[in-house]
Amino acid sequence: MKVRILGFEWITSKGITVSEFCNYLESISGREFSKRVIAVTKKDGFWVGILLSIKDMKAYCEMRDEKGGFSISPKELDRSTHIADFNFFIIHPETGRGLYQHYHNSPAINTFCFFNKQRYDELKSKIIENEWRGSGSGDEEKKLAIMKNYEGSLRYSLPMTEKDFQQCVSGLKKINHIVYEYSYFTEQERLFSPVGTYAKRMTHKVVFPKSKKVLTPQFLNDIKDAITEMIPNLKGARLKGVDPEGHEAVYKLINDYDPFAEFDYEDVIRTVKIDSTNLLKSICDAYFIDKMIEISRQPEVKAILSVKTK
């Protein structure tokens, strides 16, 4: 099994910066939310952290090789033992872009972002309530004025390579629209866009029907096939849809470089050691956090994480 490094980007709403949000995550480090625990701290100019997901399963099957075949028998965990998934991540404090470590059956990167969107909404509610009480409260108009200062929620997108993008497209339950940019101009593009002759680059947006009568499984598969066929010729793309878990998902295709890495699961899991009595230090000392920071310093990855865009 492979452990893969994926990219993501957080875009905060009015009134709250990425660092302010990460400060809040640090303050709730170690607290459990529906069988998930997050811990965040600072290291080497990044916000670094881990998402721990506690599984309910108390038994599993063990397969043992024997002469001429094998045997399978159940194994039970004791009451104080749980199976947990671990996902390390790092976030650039200025751009909100980061790296997320993922392996099969651990929380998907979109699930990770959605979990943090919920924490963001909690922080926003607390800020609004505190400001309202600080103003003397009682006046609903004041509260509405304060709420306007914090409109919106945490938005996120997932920059990825061609292979990752294809896999995500194939798993979507719904596709709303795609915005894409060609790697080169075709004659057909020039024909339908006279101004294209003078353009440095050109983007297109395709919006798909929302009607359930139109969005049959076959129609959705046809859209996926068409997008997959386009991918090799795209310089970049941004696709919005609904992921297999029913969460809104925004994916970004980056075809100019491959900034991601892969590791063997067995090599990674041997390095994981987290102590809840000194949680933040455990994260700072984690081997894989150091490895992710090392990856972030590669020129092509550094360009993605640290360069601000409008």
**pLDDT for 207-225, tens place per residue?**
777 766 566 778 888 888 8
Q: What are phi and psi of 219, to 5 degrees?
A: -65, -40
Whether residue 219 is found in the same domain as residue 265: no
Residue 92 lies in a domain: yes
pLDDT value at residue 20: 95
Whether residue 200 is found in the same domain as residue 295: no
Residue 128 lies in a domain: yes
* SS3 (DSSP) at 38: strand
Residue 309 lies in a domain: no
Q: 298 burial class (0-12, 13-18, 19+ CB within 10 angstroms)?
A: middle
Whether 93 and 47 have beta carbons less than 8 Å apart is answered as yes
Look at residue 195 and tell me whether its pLDDT is greater than 60: no
**pLDDT for 277-297, tens place per residue?**
888 999 999 999 999 999 999
**pLDDT for 101-132, tens place per residue?**
998 888 888 889 889 999 999 999 999 888 88
What length is written for the chain? 310
Whether 113 and 10 have beta carbons less than 8 Å apart is answered as yes
Look at residue 257 and tell me whether its pLDDT is greater than 60: no
Look at residue 184 and tell me whether its pLDDT is greater than 60: no
Q: CB atoms < 10 A from the CB of 301, how many?
A: 22
Whether residue 188 is found in the same domain as residue 199: yes
Whether residue 179 is found in the same domain as residue 243: yes
Residue 69 lies in a domain: no
Residue 299 lies in a domain: yes
Look at residue 194 and tell me whether its pLDDT is greater than 60: no
Residue 10 lies in a domain: yes
Q: Which of 45, 31, 1, 52 is nearest to 274 (CA)?
A: 52
Axis crossing angle, helix 18-27 with helix 109-134, rounded to the nearest 10: 90
CB half-sphere exposure, 80, CA atoms < 13 A: 0
Whether 121 and 153 have beta carbons less than 8 Å apart is answered as yes
Q: What are phi and psi of 159, to 5 degrees?
A: -65, 140
Q: CB atoms < 10 A from the CB of 72, how many?
A: 8
What stretch of H or E contains 286?
none
Whether residue 281 is found in the same domain as residue 293: yes
Whether residue 130 is found in the same domain as residue 87: yes
From residue 171, how far is each of 174, 175, 221 by CA, in Å?
9, 10, 10
In order, the DSSP letters of 143-193 are: HHHHHHTT-S--EEEEEE-HHHHHHHHHH-SEEEEEEEEESS--HHHHHH-
Segments forming the whole domain that contains residue 217: 162-257
Look at residue 268 and tell me whether its pLDDT is greater than 60: yes
Look at residue 199 and tell me whether its pLDDT is greater than 70: no
Residue 217 lies in a domain: yes
State the pLDDT confidence band at 197, using cuts at 50, 70 and 90. low
User: Which segments of the chain are extended strands (E)?
Assistant: 2-11, 32-33, 36-43, 46-54, 59-66, 69-76, 84-91, 97-103, 155-160, 174-182, 203-207, 234-242, 248-254, 262-264
Residue 73 lies in a domain: no
Whether residue 191 is found in the same domain as residue 88: no
Whether residue 214 is found in the same domain as residue 107: no
Contact partners, residue 193, CB within 8 Å, separation at least 6: 199, 202
Whether 147 and 168 have beta carbons less than 8 Å apart is answered as no
The lowest-confidence range among 71-85, 120-134, 194-208 is 194-208
Please give the tally of structural domains in the chain: 2
Whether residue 30 is found in the same domain as residue 102: yes
From residue 133, how far is each of 46, 120, 139, 146 by CA, in Å?
34, 20, 10, 11
Whether residue 196 is found in the same domain as residue 251: yes
Whether residue 23 is found in the same domain as residue 107: yes
* SS3 (DSSP) at 24: helix
CB-based burial, 152-181: b 16+ in 10 Å, e otherwise? eebbbbbbbbbebbbebbeebebbbebebe
Whether residue 203 is found in the same domain as residue 227: yes
